[in-house]
C-alpha cells in the first residue's frame, strides 16, 4: 500500500471534480459509504457541503478519521 496520493474523480451535485487521497483513505472512505448504504459521490457531496473553508481532500481525511474514532477503530 502506497503512501502517495491517488487521484480519483467524483461527481458532486452534477459537477465532476478530482480528489487526491492516499489509498488507505480511499479504502476507508468507500467503506464508510457502504456502511451508510449510500453512493460514494453522495457522501462526498455531503462532506463538501459542510466543509467550510478547508479543501475537499482534507475534509474527507478528517471525516474518515472521525468515523474511525467513533467506531473505536483508533486510540484517541
Question: 0.85 exceeded by the pTM?
Answer: yes
Listed in sequence order, the residues at least 6 apart from 58 whose beta carbon sits closer than 8 Å to its beta carbon are: 51
Strand partners, 38: none
Q: Is the pLDDT of residue 72 over 90?
A: no
Q: Are 43 and 75 in contact (CB under 8 A)?
A: no
- Which pLDDT tens digit goes with each residue over 26-61? 999 999 999 999 999 999 999 999 999 999 999 999
Band of pLDDT at residue 71, cut at 50, 70 and 90:
confident
Q: What percent of the chain has pLDDT over 70?
A: 92
Listed in sequence order, the residues at least 6 apart from 60 whose beta carbon sits closer than 8 Å to its beta carbon are: 19, 21, 25, 29, 44, 47
Strand partners, 12: 15
Amino acid at each position: 500500500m502506497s503512501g502517495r496520493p491517488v487521484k480519483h474523480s467524483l461527481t458532486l451535485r452534477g459537477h465532476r471534480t478530482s480528489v487526491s487521497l492516499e489509498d488507505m483513505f480511499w479504502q476507508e472512505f468507500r467503506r464508510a459509504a457502504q456502511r451508510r448504504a449510500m453512493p460514494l459521490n453522495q457522501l462526498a457531496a455531503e462532506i463538501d457541503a459542510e466543509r467550510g473553508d478547508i479543501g475537499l481532500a482534507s475534509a474527507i481525511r478528517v471525516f474518515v478519521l472521525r468515523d474511525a474514532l467513533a467506531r473505536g477503530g483508533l486510540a484517541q
